[in-house]
Amino acid sequence: MLTRIVRAGLLGAVLAVASVAFAQAVPVVFWHSMEAVEETVDRFAAEFNASQDRFEVQPRYVGDYPEAQTRLIGALGTRDEPALFQAEIGFFPQL
């Protein structure tokens, strides 16, 4: 019985160490339409990414509002769907 407990404990410890060792930041794709301040958005994302290791924000300029909204509608439910999307408030009822 004690051998089983020790084995289970060792297995748990190995799995815990392995999960930490192989943990990677979760990518967070952020689509936006802020071309005029794209460098600032990129800098904010880089600063956030450097401040922690759980998430990696990946900003992507995807065109002006109408183009970005069309791209989002096409991407919903696919592997290309972003985690975050910046939109005008009037777009939300269309979703």
CA distance 79 to 82: 8
Query: Is the residue at 2 inside a domain?
Result: no
Domain that holds residue 58: 25-94
User: How many domains would you assign to the chain?
Assistant: 1
Query: Is the residue at 12 inside a domain?
Result: no
pTM of the shown model: 0.71
Query: Is the residue at 57 inside a domain?
Result: yes
CA distance 38 to 45: 11
**40 Cβ contact partners less than 8 Å away, ≥ 6 residues apart:** 34
Query: Is the residue at 8 inside a domain?
Result: no
Query: Is the residue at 13 inside a domain?
Result: no
Question: What are the DSSP calls for 26-51, one per residue?
Answer: EEEEEEE--GGGHHHHHHHHHHHHHH
Residues recorded for the chain: 95
Q: In degrees rounded to 5, what are phi and psi of residue 24? A: -125, 155
Predicted local distance difference test score (pLDDT) of residue 34: 95
Predicted local distance difference test score (pLDDT) of residue 22: 60
Judging by DSSP bridges, how do beta strands 84-85 and 55-61 pair with one another? unpaired
Predicted local distance difference test score (pLDDT) of residue 60: 97
Query: Is the residue at 4 inside a domain?
Result: no
Predicted local distance difference test score (pLDDT) of residue 11: 46
Predicted local distance difference test score (pLDDT) of residue 93: 81
Query: Is the residue at 88 inside a domain?
Result: yes
Predicted local distance difference test score (pLDDT) of residue 92: 78
Q: Which residue has the tokens 């800098």?
A: 43
Half-sphere exposure of residue 38: CA atoms within 13 angstroms, side-chain side: 11
Mean pLDDT by 10 residues, the chain (95 residues): 46 46 87 96 98 97 95 95 91 80
